[in-house]
Structure 1
Amino acid sequence: MTQRDMAGILNITPMTLRNWKKDKTKLYEIVIKGFAFDEFIEKSEKNLEELKKIQKEFELNK
């Protein structure tokens, strides 16, 4: 995800996000970690769905 994407989601300008990175490092860090966490959750949900499909196929082949 780009800074432009993140800024859009936060309803701020990319310049504001860059300013946070420079002037409000803790705030920027929290925002970035929040987006990373969201991506982790999304990937985990996809992996869970894939595992459920594999489990279902395995049970059908018993």
Structure 2
Amino acid sequence: MPQHTHAHTRRCPACDGFPTVAITTGARHRDGSRVTIRVTCPACKGTGHATPAPVLTRAGK
């Protein structure tokens, strides 16, 4: 059964809705687990949603 998408939510185009990710550095801890760092999307500041573009107004004549 197909999933319905919600038209009112806008995903961030930079992270596609995955605002925080864990990236492995390639190193390992003493117990054998991997060393990871958490990175948040700089475009949406970790919210996962795109902010609407500001409306430009024309001033003058």
What TM bracket, shorter-length normalisation? under 0.3
* Bigger RCO of structures 1 and 2 (CA < 8 A, at least 6 apart): 2
TM-score normalised by L of structure 2? 0.25
Considering fraction of residues, name the structure with more helix.
1
